[in-house]
Amino acid sequence: MSSTADTVRVHLLMEGYVQGVSFRWYARQEAERLGLRGWVRNLPTGEVEAVVEGPAATVEEFVNWCGHGPPAARVDRVETVREEPRGEGRFTVLRGPIF
């Protein structure tokens, strides 16, 4: 397990045909495979938003995966913002309205 000093956090926004293609479920599967923490959710504007924390190389692998997403997706753009790690828990799919 990596130390807190080795942990990075990236906030992602995926645009394109990314809803209705199980993007969130595949993202959770990929994050779990990589041992990452964080969350993913659909936005009412049609994008998918995610936050991921873990070792830099592994987070980069997840970011690269988000560039194409699951088989039925068409990802046109991935925006990434590096943030300070906050100690996210197990990777989850968030549902429900966004306030």
The residues annotated with a catalytic role in the active site are: 24, 42
Whether the CB-CB separation of 53 and 37 falls below 8 Å is answered with: yes
Let me know the angle formed at the C-alpha of 53 by 4 and 37, rounded to the nearest 5 degrees.
105
- List the structure tokens of 10: 């990236």
The backbone torsions φ and ψ at residue 88, rounded to the nearest 5 degrees and listed phi first, read -55, 150
Determine the angle formed by the axes of helices 23-34 and 56-66, rounding to 10 degrees. 160
